[in-house]
Amino acid sequence: MDFDKDFDIELADFKVKKRDFSFRYWIFEYGGSVEGCGIDEDVVYFGSCDYHIYAVDAESGKMVWKFRTGGSVPNFSPAFHGDVLFLSSYDNYLYCLDKRRGAEIWKFKSGD
């Protein structure tokens, strides 16, 4: 197998268009690192090492709500179902939150 030949891929192969400029629309300051986010109905949801989950309006960058867990939430991989948001935290809980208000509906002790 000739890897150079088989895996010689250009950006043009993916039909990627290069932009001349990128613009920053807004900045949201929070207290910790973030490694992932989820977007649902024009709201960006992300967890942080400061033990919080944040909901931020995607258009304005203004905080909609924040919710404190008992542990860090850097590897945020949310799941959405209707009006609820599911996520896990390093406090070993699975949380179910009202995605509009950030209120806890329930939490489940998941172990290590």
Whether this prediction's pTM lies above 0.75 is answered by no
**Could you report the per-residue pLDDT of 63-80, keeping only the tens digit for each?**
999 999 999 887 778 899
User: What's residue 76's pLDDT?
Assistant: 74
Task: Among 9-18, 57-66, 72-81, name the most confident range.
Answer: 57-66
Q: Which domains does the chain have, with CATH numbers?
A: 32-109 (2.40.10.480)
Q: Mention every residue, 6+ apart, whose C-beta is less than 8 A from residue 111.
A: 92
| DSSP classification of residue 15 | T
Mean pLDDT of the chain, nearest integer? 80
Alpha-carbon dihedral sign for residues 18, 61, 31, 109? negative
CA-closest candidate to residue 99, choices 59, 54, 60:
54
User: What's residue 12's pLDDT?
Assistant: 59
**Which helix H or strand E contains 108, and what residues bound it?**
strand 104-109
Side-by-side strand order, sheet with 104-109: 79-81, 84-88, 93-98, 104-109
